[in-house]
Amino acid sequence: MNNKYLHVLLITASALHRDKSRKQFQKLNLSEGQPKVLSILLSMEGCLQKELAEKCHVKAATMTSLLQNMERDDLIEKRKDLVSGGKRAYRIFFTEKGRRLAHKVNGIVGKLEEDSFRGFSDGEKEQFLELFSRVVKNLEGLEKNV
C-alpha cells in the first residue's frame, strides 16, 4: 500500500473501520445507516428530520426510508412539529429500545476507536484528530464552491 496518498489511506481506513463495525452492528440487527443515525441522535434527540439528514450526510429521501424502518422496529418515534411558515416537520426521538441500542452502538464505536489509536499518545491522538478535522473542513469548503 502506498501511504503517501490521502485517498489511499482514507479508502483503506474507511473499509477496515466499516468491516469491523458492520459485523458488530449486524449482531444487533441494525441495517446499514442505522448505527450512524442512532449515534448522532444521542447528541441531537428531538432534532428535525431534515437536520438529522444533514448531520448524517444523506439525502432527505434516504433519511425518510431509514427512519421509517427504525420506527417500524420501535427504535425511534417521529413527532409532528410546526416550523417557520406554518410548515409541518418531524422531530425525532428515541424509544427505550432505541436509546439502549444507541448506547451499544457508541460502545462498539468507542472500542473500535480505542483499537485504532492503540500505541498513540494522547497528544498524538489529539493532533491527528485536529489535523484530520482540517482536512474535512477543506473538503466541505470545496463542496460549497462546486
Q: What is the CATH number of the domain that holds 75?
A: 1.10.10.10
Grid cell 489509536 — which residue?
A: 117
CA 98 to chain centre: 15
pLDDT value for 132? 93
pLDDT value for 145? 57
Q: In DSSP terms, which residues pair with 88 in a beta bridge? A: 82
Does the pTM surpass 0.95? The reply is no
How many CB atoms lie under 10 A from the CB of residue 63?
A: 21
pLDDT value for 141? 86
pLDDT value for 133? 94
98 lies in some domain: yes
Mean pLDDT in each 10-residue stretch from start to end of the chain (146 residues)? Answer: 82 93 94 94 94 94 96 96 86 97 96 96 96 91 68
pLDDT value for 51? 94
pLDDT value for 3? 72
Residue type, 143: E
146 lies in some domain: no
pLDDT value for 45? 95
135 lies in some domain: no
pLDDT value for 143? 64
The count of structural domains within the chain is 1
pLDDT value for 49? 94
* Structural domain of 41: 6-121
pLDDT value for 82? 87
